[in-house]
A and B are shown apart, each in its own frame.
Chain A
Amino acid sequence: MVGVTASNYSRAQLAAIASVRWQIFLHSLRSKRGAVELFSRIVIGAVITGGGLGGAILLGGLAWYFVSQGNPEALALVLWPVFLFWQMFPLMATALSESIDSTNLLRFPLSYRTYVMVRLVYGALDPATVLGTFWLVGITIGIGWARPGLMPWSFVVLVVFAAVNMMLTQMIFAWVERWLGQRRTREIFAVLFFLAMISLQLIGPMLSRYGDRSNAAFHWAGRFANPIQAILPPGIAAGAVASKAVSHTALAFGLLGALVLYAAVILRILSVRLHAQFRGENLSEVVGRGKDEVSRPGVRLAWKMPGLSQEAAAVVEKEFRYLSRSGPVLLTFVTPIVMLFVFGLGGRTGSGAGFLQNWPELGLPVGAAYALLLLTNLIYNNFGPDAGGIQFFLVSPASFRSVMLGKNVAHMGVLAVELVSLWIGVSLLFRPPTATAVLITLSGLLFAAPVNLAAGNLLSLYSPKKTEFGTFGRQRASQTTVLASFAIQGLVFVVAAVTLLTARHYQRQWLAVAAFFMLATLAFGVYFFVLTRVDRLAGRRREILTTALCK
């Protein structure tokens, strides 16, 4: 092609992609929503930076301590948490991590190298990478503070360690995306992932309960685990710094080489995935025809829900069907029960016990608050999973009030099921909650739930974002919603804490129940006030709703 040479191809393409991203960002600021989103990003960015700096100071301090005490091999103790956080956070906090859909780029004559570069650069903008980098900088400074001569070497080692982490995150995400590409494997994977999470969380309580009896086994496991950790990236990085500290230069270089080898292997495995994507791999959702062709069940009657309008009942039915087909979302609903189990697994009583063993009356209220907190992911972005379906709500004769009410009832239905499960769980693990605990929990929820529903209904109209329930990396709410949810949860928590502490101070628990009922009256007033206005709001914001959810 005239005017284009191969040598400047990649550079020009990367520049063009960066320029397009910048222009998209600038254009997003033209709307009020874009400006609010930017503000939210800045606030959340400041929070992440704060966390990064705090962690950097803490880990830097520990690194300084280990090196100055002549125990640099203990650096593994600070590098392992960084490594685990870096790898686990993007999978666990899917609301804050977003996978990259780079398929749009594939229609251009991008070289594979450029494509990989784009993917890696995007990956570097992930919160886990930002925080991990902050912490590694802190560790490097800590090492340098203790032994200035060790700083340049530590810097090199930790840069390679950072690259390993960054590429490994990308690799895990790319493969997870591959497995999640099909609905069935996605849901199987979600179950396996969840079981793995539970297993990890059970380690602490299990050790606490059975630690005394299995000390020998624990020490044997420790002896067994230490050599293994030493050949994994955090152990190797710590070993490389420690070897240099004791002037074993050859070993230090050898370990650095091993770290580079890790990076190369990870890049190779990542490359398999990226290459498949680069060749235009299209992960199909199509399921086998199987039984469908032979069995033709008639159309079932719609659900009947006394007390609800026909439209609201239809929305409740639709919401339950949606939720029942969304593995990752369903699993978040059982998390409160699992947490109860985990916290209930401590030693019997006393200092070694899980905190719920010591204060079992808190089981129900804490579990209920946690359940409500998890539900806010749905409540605050009501239309996100509907995506293009929002157009149906806009053209149908049903009022948005009915639609919102249906969604709210469905979400509260989930909460009610969770409450019953929590009650059973608390009864089995500890003892049946007292009537007072039940009353405080219910009255507290009667206050907190309508506040969250009212805020959620407004945020769903003001900052909607298309989400995909079935995919880990595509459930991210808008930054405005995330920020607003922090503020609302903070407010609800403070009000509830003040109420409970006041009641405790006067040793009159009914006081908390009475106060919560009064607050609930107010909260329901706000909820219905918002509900009566959602039609007008939705009408005014229909263009924004369709733009945000249909793209």
Chain B
Amino acid sequence: MQQNAQPSGSPTLTSVPAISTANLTRRFGELVAVNDVNLRVAPGQFFGFLGPNGAGKSTTIKMLTGLLAPTSGRIEILGLDFAERTSEVKRQIGVVPEGLALFGRLTGAEYLTFVGRMYGLDRETTAKRSAELLEFMQLANEPRKLVTDYSHGMQKKLALAAAVIHGPKILFLDEPFEGVDAIAAGTLKSMLQRMIARGATIFLTSHVLEIVERLCSHVAIIDRGVLVAQGSLEELRAGVEAQAPGTLEAEPGRKLTLEEIFLHTVGGVRSTELELSWLG
């Protein structure tokens, strides 16, 4: 089932896409983890990339950020070919990878200073932005604390601060809300919404569909390595309703939730429908 639901003539298609892939494929031996994926993310979109476990989300985001080489296909970021203009592309993007990419034996300020310099910021700008980011993320209270001693939520906030210190045009976030408490999540969301308001593009993967539904304007769903749906939430909703009229029981006046769209799209079977004979 392919629901590339973007209507032709959409204004986002006429401009240079923030992210576009052509036949992006990644094989691990016999396994095709990502198969001929054609993504298109317009500038300024808050884009959610969803899929069941093992569907190829992390593999795709790793390829989009340079952590993994594609087996074949092409990636363009802001119209630049990633393979040919790697360094230029990397200057335009910020990344919070799955492992957070922190250096444990630095303090938060030292880490941000290091990152700022690696992205080519001058010393004064780096120091100024680092101080502001530490304040904003509420990490300035314990300046001597090493990153390794940070709580998981603090580490996530620091990783996000590091990803935005150079003012990227596109931000890639792999499961940014996983293991984060409500307070830290609030800080992260506030930061992301500010970035969107300033015209940045955000590409995130998450298992928390409620958050994606609340934050993202556009969504793509990948299943078993294949992109099965892509478009705005409204477009996906319309697509599902058109494909299976009457099969999804939404109360009159209530819209289908993203979870319902997701489950319908990936053909998910709820575990309650299955039985484990030995579990009683």
Q: Hey, which bits of chain A sit against chain B, CB under 8 A?
A: 2, 183, 285-287, 289, 291-293, 295-302, 304, 310-311, 313-315, 317-318, 321-322, 325-326, 385-392, 394-399, 469-470, 539-540, 542-543, 546, 550
Across the interface, B97 reaches (CB within 8 A) one of A387, A391, A398, namely A391
A69 to B141 alpha-carbon distance, docked (Å): 73
Q: Is B222 an interface residue (CB 8 A)?
A: no
Q: Closest A residue to B28 by CB, please name it.
A: A543
Q: Is the CB of A314 within 8 A of B117?
A: yes
Listed A/B pairs (20) with beta-carbon separation below 8 Å: A300-B113, A300-B127, A301-B124, A301-B127, A302-B123, A311-B118, A315-B118, A318-B110, A318-B114, A326-B105, A385-B105, A389-B104, A392-B115, A394-B67, A395-B67, A396-B115, A396-B119, A397-B88, A397-B118, A550-B99
Given B99, B120, B141, which contacts A391 in the complex, CB threshold below 8 Å? B99
Segment at the interface with A among B142-150, B178-186, B252-260: B142-150
- B149 x A286 contact (CB < 8 A): yes
Choose among B103, B113, B124, B142 the residue that contacts A389 (Cβ–Cβ < 8 A). Answer: B103
Residue pair A394, B66 in contact (C-beta under 8 Å): yes
The 10 closest A-B pairs by CB, nearest first: A314-B117, A391-B101, A397-B90, A392-B101, A292-B142, A388-B99, A299-B130, A389-B103, A395-B95, A299-B131
Determine whether the beta carbon of A302 is less than 8 Å from that of B148: no
Contacts of A304 in B (CB 8 A): 123
> Closest CB-CB distance, A385 to chain B, in whole Å?
8
Q: For residue A550, which residues in chain B have a CB less than 8 angstroms away from its CB?
A: 99
- Expressed in whole angstroms, the minimum distance between the Cβ of A231 and any Cβ of chain B is 44
Please tell me if the beta carbons of B120 and A310 are within 8 angstroms of each other in the complex. Answer: yes
Q: Decide if the interface of chain A is mainly helix, strand, loop or mixed.
A: helix
Report the separation of the CA atoms of residues A321 and B145 in the bound assembly, to the nearest whole angstrom: 13
- Does any Cβ of A come within 8 Å of B112's Cβ? yes
Residue of B91, B100, B118 contacting most chain A CB atoms (<10 Å) = B118
A512 to B159, CA, bound (A): 52
A-B contact count (CB 8 A): 135
**In the assembly, what is the distance between CA of A479 and CA of B107, in Å?**
32
Shortest C-beta distance, A46 to chain B (Å), equals 32
List residues of chain B with CB within 8 A of the CB of A318: 103, 106, 110, 114
Expressed in whole angstroms, the Cα–Cα distance for A98 and B127 within the complex equals 40
Instruction: Give Cα A300 to B105, complex, Å.
Output: 17
Does B87 reach chain A (CB closer than 8 Å)?
A: yes
B102: CB under 8 A from chain A? yes
| CB-based contact B87/A389 at 8 Å | no
Which B residues are CB-close (under 8 A) to A469?
Answer: 105
A388 to B142, CA, bound (A): 23
- The verdict on A302 contacting B116 (CB below 8 Å), with A322-B106, A395-B66 known, is yes
| Other A-B pairs beyond A286-B149, A298-B127, 11, CB < 8 Å | A287-B145, A298-B131, A311-B117, A318-B103, A388-B101, A391-B97, A392-B103, A392-B118, A392-B162, A396-B115, A540-B69
Contact of A299 with B115 at beta-carbon distance under 8 Å, contacts A286-B149, A322-B103, A542-B69 already known: no
Whole-angstrom distance between the alpha carbons of A289 and B149 in the complex? 11
Chain B interface residue count, CB cutoff 8 Å, equals: 50
Per-position binary interface string of chain B over residues 70-104, scored 1 when its CB falls under 8 Å from any chain A CB and 0 otherwise: 00000000000000000110110101010111111
CB distance from B251 to the nearest CB of A (A): 42
A314 proximity list for chain B (CB < 8 A): 113-114, 117-118
Contacts of A310 in B (CB 8 A): 117, 120
Complex Cα–Cα for A408 and B117 (A): 18
A321 touching B110 in the complex, CB below 8 Å, given contacts A296-B143, A314-B118, A391-B99 = yes
Contacts of B146 in A (CB 8 A): 183, 285, 325
Q: Which of B201-226 contact A (CB under 8 A)?
A: none
Cβ-defined partner of B105 (8 Å) among A311, A315, A325, A394: A325
Which residues from chain A contact B88 at a C-beta distance below 8 Å? 397
When distances are taken between beta carbons in the complex, the residues of chain A under 8 Å from B130 are: 299
Judge if B68 is at the interface, Cβ distance under 8 Å: yes
- Residues on B with beta carbons closer than 8 Å to the beta carbon of A291: 144
Residues of chain A lying within 8 A (CB to CB) of residue B192: none
CB-based nearest B residue for A325:
B105
| Residues B123 and A391 in contact, CB atoms below 8 Å apart | no
B-side residues, CB < 8 A to A, are 65-69, 87-88, 90-91, 93, 95, 97, 99-106, 109-110, 112-120, 123-124, 126-128, 130-131, 134, 140-146, 148-149, 162, 278
Closest to B87 in A: A397
Chain B residue, CB-CB nearest to A399: B87
* A287 contacts B149, C-beta separation under 8 Å: yes
Contact of A299 among B66, B113, B144 (CB under 8 A): B113
Question: What is the minimal beta-carbon distance from B142 to any residue of chain A, in angstroms?
Answer: 4
* CB pair B142 A289 closer than 8 Å: yes
Contact B68 A543 (CB under 8 A): yes
In the assembly, what is the distance between CA of A217 and CA of B15, in Å? 91
- Bound Cα distance A20, B131 (Å): 48
In the complex formed, the residue of A with least CB distance to B141 is A293
Residues on the B chain within 8 Å of A391, using CB: 67, 97, 99-101
User: Are B134 and A299 closer than 8 Å at their CB atoms?
Assistant: yes
- Interface pair B67/A292, CB less than 8 Å apart: no
- Give CA–CA (A32, B234) in the complex, Å: 49
CA distance A208 to B114 in the complex (A): 51
**Distance between B73 CB and nearest chain A CB, rounded to angstroms:** 17
Of the listed residues B87, B88, B104, B106, the one surrounded by the most CB atoms of chain A closer than 10 A to its CB is B104
A-side contacts of B66, CB under 8 Å: 394-395, 542
Asked if B144 and A292 sit within 8 Å, CB to CB, the answer is yes
The CA of A264 and the CA of B90, in the complex, are separated in Å by: 60
* Chain B residues with CB below 8 A from A394, complex form: 66-67
Complex alpha-carbon distance, A543 and B67, angstroms: 7
Q: B143 to A542, Cβ gap below 8 A?
A: no
Give every chain A residue within 8 A of B100 (Cβ-Cβ): 388, 391
CB nearest neighbor in A for B94: A395
Closest chain-B Cβ to A227's Cβ sits at a distance in Å of 48
Contact B144 A396, beta carbon cutoff 8 Å: no
- On whether the beta carbons of B67 and A386 are closer than 8 Å, the reply is no
Q: Is the CB of A397 within 8 A of B91?
A: yes
Query: Is there contact, CB below 8 Å, between A539 and B145?
Result: no
Using Cβ atoms and an 8 Å threshold, which residues of chain A touch B115? 392, 396
The chain A residue with its CB closest to the CB of B110 is A321
B67-A546 in contact (CB<8A): yes
Choose among A292, A318, A470 the residue with the greatest number of B CB atoms under 10 Å from its CB: A318
Q: How far is the CA of A186 from the CA of B45 in the complex (A)?
A: 48
Residue ID in chain B nearest A398 by CB atoms? B118
The complex places the Cα of A285 from the Cα of B110 at a distance, in Å, of: 19
With a CB–CB cut-off of 8 A, which chain B residues contact A386? Answer: 103
Bound: A293/B97 CA distance, A? 30
Contact flag A300-B109 (CB < 8 Å), given A395-B97, A396-B90, A399-B87 = yes
Q: In the complex, which of the residues B110, B119, B145 contacts A397, with contact meaning CB atoms closer than 8 Å?
A: B119
Give every chain A residue within 8 A of B149 (Cβ-Cβ): 183, 285-287
* B contact residues around A542 at 8 Å (CB): 66-69
Task: Please measure, in the bound complex, the distance between the C-alpha atom of A546 and the C-alpha atom of B61, giving whole angstroms.
Answer: 14
A241 to B126, CA, bound (A): 71
Which residue of chain B has its CB nearest to the CB of A469?
Answer: B105
**Beta-carbon nearest neighbor of A391 in chain B:** B101
- Measured CB to CB, the nearest residue on chain A to B116 is A302
Residues of B within 8 A of A313 (CB): 117
User: With A and B bound together, what is the CA distance between A322 and B99 in angstroms?
Assistant: 20
Closest residue of chain B to A289 (Cβ to Cβ) is B142
Report the separation of the CA atoms of residues A540 and B66 in the bound assembly, to the nearest whole angstrom: 11
